[in-house]
Amino acid sequence: MGPKTERVYRVILDWVESGKYGPGEKLPSERQMVEDLEIGRTALRQVLARLRAENVIEAHDRSAYTVRPRLSALEPGVEPPEDLEPWRIYGERNLYDNRWVTLSLVDVEPPGMERFEHHVVRLHHVAVAAVIDGEDRVLMLWRYRFVPQQWGWELPGGIVDAGEDAHTTALREVEEETGWRPVSLEHVVTYQPMVGMVDSPHEIFVGRGAQKVGEPTDVEEAGHVAWVPLADVPQLMARDQLMGSGTLVGLLHLLAQRGSGTSTTAG
């Protein structure tokens, strides 16, 4: 986002955080915000798409927006307990280490238990992007994965290089793997796919709109590129044709937005 869109994003966010517009209240119309905030309609919609992705606002029809109810108002009494103790870590030794994977033994002590060495696999930091177009279709790749020996649909994504931020990685990977360049990408969640034993942060981004800039350039990771209707995702899931936790998390986020009445497109 540029300086103007970032300024408008901060203004609208302040409206919500200050209580000027409370949970469930309607924001001014797009036409009114364009005039009052001195911003173009396309740029404003980029800001509103970011606020929707961050669950700050909800979209209704094409150009009406309301402030989302606060989580605490929806689910009272879900605050985590504060009196639990974390595991104590005394040290770590590597059993195997190369540029792709590290296998370690970590000396740990859970509360109320004896110390022991726990195997930990450390993999790379990963960024995945779910890019959706104006027809409610998601940019995906059909490709073969030799580890499970399976064909399936995946969202584009890859390893975050040293010195690179995950947002840049997500943009780069979409373009390299599909030949499409996202108009915008917004972060929605960071998670660990196998938190009990594997350390590999995954960051999920949602993009709205993309421009065709050429053919895929990452030959090793490229597959059959297609815009898959979001409505087909539940059926693909039932057929076990969606591969990778990043793909599932990104697509489930889009489905949840649509199910809650939040538009998944920029409008």
- For residue range 100-118, what is the model confidence (pLDDT) as tens digits? 999 999 999 999 999 999 9
Please classify residue 78 by burial: count the beta carbons closer than 10 Å to its beta carbon, then call 0-12 exposed, 13-18 middle and 19+ buried: exposed
The predicted model gives 25-29 an average pLDDT of 90
Segment 159-172, tens digit of pLDDT: 999 888 999 999 99
Q: Which residues make up the CATH 3.90.79.10 domain(s) of the chain? A: 126-259
Q: What is the DSSP letter of 226?
A: E
Give the tokens for residue 169.
């990685």
The predicted model gives 53-70 an average pLDDT of 78
Residue 42: strand, helix, or coil: helix
Structure-model confidence comparison of residues 245 and 62, the more confident one: 245
Q: Is pLDDT at 69 greater than 80 in this prediction?
A: no
The predicted model gives 42-56 an average pLDDT of 83
Phi, psi of 17 (to 5 degrees): -70, -30
What's the gap between Cα 177 and its chain centre? 18
Instruction: State the Cα–Cα distance between residues 178 and 191, nearest whole angstrom.
Output: 24
| The pLDDT value given to residue 51 | 85
Q: Which residues make up the CATH 1.10.10.10 domain(s) of the chain? A: 3-74
Q: Is pLDDT at 1 greater than 70 in this prediction?
A: no
**CATH classification code of 126-259:** 3.90.79.10
| The pLDDT value given to residue 3 | 76
Domain at 3-74, CATH class = mainly alpha
Q: Is pLDDT at 264 greater than 50 in this prediction?
A: no
